[in-house]
Copies of this chain bind each other. A is one copy, B any other.
């Protein structure tokens, strides 16, 4: 099971603040790093979960494959994130290198031992699981109720990280990866990026990076405040689709 979604800072729960810097790195630090080339699989969904991995560098995608070839990316993970904490016999998703990636691994039983031995490690793990859970639900929300504009905006924010949105956001993944994460097609991803660009919110990007011109506008979009408020929360006139869809361009 992956831990800590991309873009979330490694927040420690309040009660863990004063602990010694005893984090997962220590469990893995003795292990050699292994390198994977882009698009190489690190493990597959359904494999016996014999190891737990820590991403040391680069970025990976976690995905599930449907019977007919449809693909869903359930997360992008980067340095510091854990892979394969399935706590079941088998991995629940496939993990593939997105860039060149280095990881360290420890046997599952060893990881469990450390957990049993170190209470604060448990706390950290629980905390990460919770973040993870929250991120998974965020993705569900994103994909089930938001427009293409909102999805792309939210995605850019996610990839920008949690701090102040930097001027330039790096996108190590292909359009297909983005599409499979957001539940869209590459064409719609492309069109949406173009639309946001012509609205002046982002700038016509290099292929693998995007410049954010108006962070507030992006944030507003990502939060579903697509320019117009609709009505009072919940109950009577209940809407399902995102926004009365004023054209983006009209707001520049």
Contacts and interface: CB of A to CB of B under 8 A. Distances in A.
A70 B130 contact: no
A141 B94 CA distance: 14
A64 interface: yes
B87 A184 contact: no
Q: Give the size category of A's interface with B.
A: 35 or more
A9 to B, nearest CB: 14
B225 A87 contact: no
A165 to B, nearest CB: 19
A159 interface: no
A22 interface: no
A144 B68 contact: no
Chain copies in the assembled complex = 2
Nearest to A234: B69
Given A129-B129, A130-B86, A133-B133, A68 B179 contact: no
B66 A145 contact: yes
Interface in A116-157: 116, 119, 122, 126-127, 129-134, 136-137, 139-141, 143-145
Contact of A126 (B13, B87, B133, B137): B87
A21 interface: no
Given A71-B234, A231-B69, A239-B69, A89 B14 contact: yes
A235 B145 CA distance: 28
